[in-house]
Amino acid sequence: LTTKVEINATANGQQAGIRMTSGNDDVTFTLYSGYNNGKKIGMSFEGVATEVNNAIGNVVWLRVERALHILTCYYSADGLSWTQLGTKDVSN
């Protein structure tokens, strides 16, 4: 799953990206570009976030690849060259 996001986030909590939920919305996974005491690119699952500083700018490409219950997240400035952000096991 790949998307291109354009957001000029300037306040904590502002985010745009990919959100995946369980059928009843009890569990959510988010891959985002946003703001958390500075511009960030991050992923969050069950309240645990992994973030890096966003040195790309307001336009960011985000990608989630799924292998069973393992999600691998990437970000890119151009949609061609990707940097891995991390992986999450969402099997629970």
* 10-residue averages of pLDDT along the chain (92 residues): 96 95 83 97 93 97 96 97 96 80
Q: What is the pLDDT of residue 1?
A: 95
**What size, in residues, is the chain?**
92
Residue 60 CB neighbours (<10 A): 23
Considering the entire predicted model, what is its pTM? 0.92
For residue 52, give every residue at least 6 positions away whose Cβ sits within 8 Å of its Cβ, in sequence order, or none.
Answer: 40, 41, 42, 85
The strand order across the sheet containing 39-45 reads 15-21, 28-35, 39-45, 48-53
Beta bridge partners of 64: 73
